[in-house]
Every structure is written in C-alpha cells, then in structure tokens.
C-alpha cells in the first residue's frame, strides 16, 4: 500500500472540503484503502501526482471518480420506508388539496443510482392515477457524480434490487432486460429529471419545492456546511413544505427555522 503523507492528506481533504463540502478529515484510512491500488494501477507512485492529475483533467471525469471512491453511494429501493409512507399518506394529499397549479415540485437531493426518485415517482403516479395527465409530476433528482447519474438514467437493476417492491409496481414500471435484470419503463424514466448538482452551489431554482429528500448525504459535511445547506433547503421550500433527512440524522444540533414533525421529517412553517 502506498502511504499517504501528511501534506498529501491535507491537500486532498482541504480541496474536497472547499469545493464539495465533504469532510474527510477523519477518513485517512479510508482514503488510503480506496485509492492506493487504484492510483498504482494508473501508474502513479504517490497521491500528490494523482491528485494533480485529477484536478487538471478538463473533463472533470477523474475528479468525479475520486469523489465516488471516497463517498459511499449505497442505496436501495424502499430504503427507510417510513418516509415513503409519509410522502404517500400526508405529503401528496396535502399537495393535491392545497395547490391548484398541478405542478409537483419534489427534489431528491443526492439521488445516487436512482432508487429514491424512482420510488417517489411510482408512489406519485399511483396516487394521481387517471389524473396524472393533467399534472406535471416530474421528480427532480440530483447528484454530484456523473457516473451514478448515468446509471440512474439507464434505470437497469438486478432481480435482487427490486425484490422488496410490490408486484404491482414491478409489472407496471419495469420490464425484463435479459437474465435477472429489469429496466424501468419509459413512462417512469421520463417522470424523473436527473441533473448534476453540487449542494454548495447557489440554489437558483425558478420555483419553490413542496418536498425535499436529502437522506444520508449531509453526514459527510461539517457543522457549518450543514447549517448553510439546511437554510438553503428552507428557503426553496414553499410554506408548509417538507424536508426529509436520513433516519440516523437530526437537525436538533443546528440553528434552523423548521418545525419538527417526526424523526427525520421537518416542515417549513
């Protein structure tokens, strides 16, 4: 294993913190473990040479690869299902009743390989039923990784990936795609808009959201960055809108204006 020198560790963690908000200051063993063999295979014998190579890649592909290797894009269908039940039973009826525009504005921030926004889309399409044609029901899904976004757009999942989904969803929203693989239908895929977006960027959205899902993403951010992003989420929600974070997360340690609804669910007053 190539050992990570102090100056290399400081340079890498400082750059990623400043540009992506991801705090890796306590992740030195993880950086060594995930990068050592990889940079050797590329022909580098130290981390700084590889880091400079990644920074100078004009396509930004290598920096995206670096971020992917140092953060865990772990997700699956119906992860933390209580959130989806709340969205189905509380949020959608509220949107349907209160809003006359029939313009659904729901954002999956940190969508990884697409399971969360596709789940939200299936719940939404089921709820709207025959009325779906009169709605703009597109879910916005964002991530900083082009690799996972490309996988999400493809919408191809293994048989094991969709095992926990209701049979009615599998029949309606998936089609077989070779041996033990399933692909989302065109209807479902077109109902999710995937975008590359860095949460440190300004939130210059044309319209506010009714609900934002940002689950198990802010665990990589330090307190100041979390506080800033929580405020930005608040500002782009409509009054009464909901913010969902991971079940292991809480906003109780941060200054914010959200109303606590239930564990990991917050509402803009």
Q: What residues are labeled active site?
A: 34, 143
As a whole number of angstroms, the distance between CA 12 and CA 2 comes to: 15
- Residue 185 makes CB contacts below 8 A (sequence gap 6+) with 172, 173, 174, 175
Distances (CA, A) of 144 to 16, 111, 126, 189, 236: 12, 9, 29, 19, 19
What is the distance between the alpha carbons of residues 46 and 53, in angstroms, rounded to a whole number? Answer: 11
| Calpha distance 238→150 (Å, rounded) | 30
d(CA 248, CA 231): 20
Select from 107, 131, 79 the least CA-distant residue to 194.
Answer: 107
Determine the 3-state secondary structure of 76 from DSSP.
Answer: coil
> What end-to-end distance do the CA atoms of the chain give, in Å?
52
Helices first, then strands: H and E counts in the chain: 11, 10
Q: Is 250 helix (H, G, I), strand (E, B) or coil?
A: coil
Q: Let me know: does 128 contact 159? Beta carbons within 8 Å.
A: no
């Amino acid at each position: 294993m190539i050992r990570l020198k102090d100056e290399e560790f400081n340079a890498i963690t400082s750059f990623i913190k400043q540009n992506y908000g991801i705090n890796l200051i306590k992740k030195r063993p993880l950086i060594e473990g995930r990068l050592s063999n990889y940079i050797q295979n590329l022909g580098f014998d130290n981390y700084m040479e590889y880091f400079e190579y990644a920074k100078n890649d004009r396509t930004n592909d290598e920096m995206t690869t670096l971020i992917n290797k140092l953060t865990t894009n772990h997700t699956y269908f119906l992860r933390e299902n209580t959130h989806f039940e709340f969205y189905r039973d509380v949020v959608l009826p509220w949107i349907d009743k209160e809003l006359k525009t029939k313009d659904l504005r729901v954002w999956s921030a940190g969508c990884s390989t697409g399971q969360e926004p596709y789940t939200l889309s299936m719940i939404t399409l089921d709820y709207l039923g025959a009325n779906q044609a009169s709605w703009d029901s597109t879910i916005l899904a964002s991530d900083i990784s082009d690799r996972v976004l490309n996988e999400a757009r493809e919408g191809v999942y293994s048989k094991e990936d969709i095992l926990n989904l209701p049979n009615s969803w599998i029949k309606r929203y998936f089609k077989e795609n070779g041996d033990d693989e399933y692909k989302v239908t065109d209807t479902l895929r077109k109902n999710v808009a995937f975008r590359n977006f860095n949460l440190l960027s300004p939130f210059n959205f044309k319209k506010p959201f009714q609900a934002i899902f940002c689950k198990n993403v802010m665990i990589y951010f330090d307190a100041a960055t979390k506080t800033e992003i929580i405020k930005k989420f608040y500002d782009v929600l409509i009054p009464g809108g909901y913010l969902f974070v991971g079940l292991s997360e809480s906003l109780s340690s941060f200054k914010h204006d959200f109303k606590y609804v239930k564990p990991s669910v917050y509402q803009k007053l």
